[in-house]
Structure 1
Amino acid sequence: MWLKKNGLYVLLGVSVILAILGVSTANFIFKSGTAGMGILIILILYAQFKKSAKDTWMILGAFLFSIIGDWFLSNMNGDSLMFVKGIALFFLAHVGYLLYALFNGRIKGMFTVILLAAYLVFFFLVLYPTFTDVPLMIASLVYLLISCFSLGAAMGMEGDRTAKGSFILGIVLIIFSDTIIAFKEFVDYHMFDFLITPTYYLAHIFITFSLIKRFESKVPATK
């Protein structure tokens, strides 16, 4: 039966192909492919492990909000309101990542404090002087805070080490991609623009891989 263990990795492989197409084309179907395949894999895992997989709905919601948020950012055409809406949806995505991590551990306090301090310095010294739109400034600051908290919670997760490491890497890649976007949109610095979408798609792939590894020992092996 293809929905067994190896089938999940086949779907993850499809996600990688969609990521490549998303980077090389402007087609939104491909651009939303990694999150979409992640949703499909989550639904399969939930169908097999209903009681122990309830928290995966947090990631499903995060992927769904990411798809919608990406649509807003892809169609903003300089409209700051569209950008704010996109940030709001990605904020909700981070809430999903944060809640999932907290369901599987607790926030790493000292790490989170250090990360917050570093990013607040970055925000007020580098980004803040560029803002002329107050709602956009507030949205960006709130999004920065939730990003730091979601990574801090990921660092405090328990369970399978590979699953935890993959999830942490996924959140790190999202924050890395967002940081490059901040330089692009607010500082007008474009040297690393080419890394925005690849790191974003890889984040979804690693988070999905994390979920597969979490349940892998419970999935019947393909004969």
Structure 2
Amino acid sequence: MWLKKNGLYVLLAISVVLAVLGVATSNFIFKSGTAGMGIIIILVLNMGLKKSAKDTWWILAAFLFSIIGDWFLSNMNGDSLMFVKGIALFFLAHVGYLLYALANGRIKEVFTSILLAAYLAFFFLVLYPTFTDVSLMVASLVYLLISCFSLGAAMGMKSNPTAKRSFILGIVLIIFSDTIIAFKEFVDYHTFDFLITPTYYLAHIFITFSLIKRFESNVPTSN
């Protein structure tokens, strides 16, 4: 148990190093490192269990979709179709986060309603006037909705307090990074562009850390 626990933190430290390299370079191996290392850690977490924690596979799938989605966005070169495909894959990643959270709790309805109202106002007042591509507009709106629901579900999780806070922070960082991307791509506002990748990588690290803390607290796994 001690070796496994400390080994997980070594892997998490490697994830941090990959995040730094991902920010400093354009190498896709490094850019996908935090999600990739998260997948490895999830597999290690499940190795020692008599019965795998099935809900953690939703996070594994989310990380996998994130890697593929990041590839589309990294190679879009102004192609709106590539951007839509990237959004679709990140949508699936959020579905994974949402299902994991719901497997460990329930959605916070009041919080989610307030969050939805705020982001829908942002969408229709700030982003909507900039769209010329209907498919891109629809994809962005659907992605916004799933992002709000995944955070609302994270807020309602019943888990080790540290694990829950870390998971919530991870989802918040993803939404924060996506909001900056929205300003960059649709409003042509670039002041905070430098925060896009660091917050995105930190999100993966905090979500992975959340799973490690859950493992340490011996929280019963969902079936």
Q: Structures share a fold, TM > 0.5?
A: yes
Q: Which runs of 5+ in 2 are unaligned?
A: none
Structure 1 pair 4–172 and aligned structure 2 pair: CA distance change class (3 A):
same
> For 1:189-212, what per-residue CA distance to the aligned partner results, in whole angstroms no more than 9, with x for missing partners?
000000000000000000000000
Query: Residues 69 and 14 from structure 1, CA distance in 2 versus in 1: closer, same or farther, beyond 3 angstroms?
Result: same
Partner SS, residue 203 of structure 1: helix
For the residue of structure 2 that corresponds to 1:51, the secondary structure is coil
Contact preservation (8 Å) 1:167, 1:206: yes
Matched letter for residue 22 of structure 1: G
Contact map agreement 1:38 1:60 (CA 8 A) in 2: yes
Superimposed CA distance per residue, residues 130-187 of structure 1 (whole angstroms, 9 cap, x where no aligned partner): 0000000000000000000000000000020000000000000000000000000000
Tell me, which stretches of 5 or more residues in structure 1 are unaligned? none
Q: Is the 8 A contact 2:162 2:210 kept in 1?
A: yes
> What is the percent sequence identity of the aligned residues?
87
Number of equivalences: 219
| 8 Å CA contact 1:3, 1:44 repeated in 2 | no
Partner Cα separation in structure 2 for residue 27 and residue 4 of structure 1: 30
Separation (CA, whole Å) in 2 of partners of 1:113 and 1:65: 27
Alignment partner of 1:75 is 2:46: no
Matched to 2:213, the amino acid is K
Output aligned runs, 1:164-179, within 5 Å.
Answer: 164-179=164-179
- Is the Cα contact below 8 Å between 1:95 and 1:150 reproduced in 2? yes
Q: Match for residue 130 of structure 1?
A: 130
Question: What's 1:215 paired with?
Answer: 215
- The answer to whether the 8 Å contact 2:160/2:217 transfers is no
Shift, 1:46, TM fit: 1.2
The TM-score with structure 1 as length reference comes to: 0.96
Distance 1:217 1:93 in 2: 26
Cα contact 2:59–2:100 (8 A) shared by 1: yes
Matched, 1:25 2:18: no
Q: CA deviation at 1:2?
A: 8.2
Counterparts in 2 of 1:11-50, with a 5 A limit?
Answer: 11-50=11-50
Shift of 1:218: 4.2
SS in 1 for 2:128: helix
CA change 1:77–1:41 in 2 (3 A) is same
1:47 is displaced (CA, Å) by 1.2
- Map of 1:97 onto structure 2: 97
Shift of the alpha carbon at 1:95? 0.1
**How far apart, CA to CA, are the structure 2 residues paired with 1:123 and 1:150?**
18
* Alignment-derived partner of residue 8 in structure 2: 8
In structure 2, C-alpha distance between the alignment counterparts of 1:88 and 1:103, rounded to whole Å = 23
Cα RMSD, aligned residues only: 1.3
TM-score between the two structures when normalised by the length of structure 2 = 0.96
